[in-house]
């Protein structure tokens, strides 16, 4: 079952954050992930949200965990943490026909 990593991020230092983007993208690709949304225009329908949302898709929750804890992502993570504030979650996919929904 697919899994999605959802990141809500407020970039505080855009110039320095640019160092993180290609490193993270290469790491995501190496681990079989793909970007579904990457900082496009957002419209809050409920609640308050940060200005940037990123959604990644992986083959499974285990694959998402493996990517996050990988040496290559952990190597670039300090750049993101230094240049932005945010939250990140991983969630299993499912649909209306899923028994978990």
**Contact yes or no for 83/11 (Cβ under 8 A):** yes
What is the reported pLDDT for 96? Answer: 53
User: What is the Cα–Cα distance from 50 to 38, expressed in whole angstroms?
Assistant: 13
pTM of the model as a whole: 0.86
Residue 101: pLDDT over 50: no
**Domain 3-92 in CATH 3.30.70.100:** yes
What is the reported pLDDT for 36? Answer: 97
The structural domains of the chain, with segments of one domain joined by +, span 3-92
Q: Which of 9-13, 28-32, 47-51 has the highest mean pLDDT?
A: 28-32
Beta strands 52-58 and 34-38: pairing type?
A: antiparallel
């Amino acid at each position: 079952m697919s899994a999605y990593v959802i990141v809500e991020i407020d970039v505080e230092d855009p110039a320095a954050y640019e160092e993180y983007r290609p490193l993270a993208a290469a790491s995501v690709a190496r681990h079989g992930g793909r970007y579904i949304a990457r900082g496009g225009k957002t419209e809050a329908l409920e609640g308050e949200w940060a200005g940037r949302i990123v959604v990644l898709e992986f083959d499974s929750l285990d694959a998402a965990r493996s990517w996050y804890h990988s040496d290559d992502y952990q190597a670039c993570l300090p750049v993101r943490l230094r240049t932005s504030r945010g939250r990140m979650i991983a969630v299993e996919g499912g649909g209306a026909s899923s028994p978990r929904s």
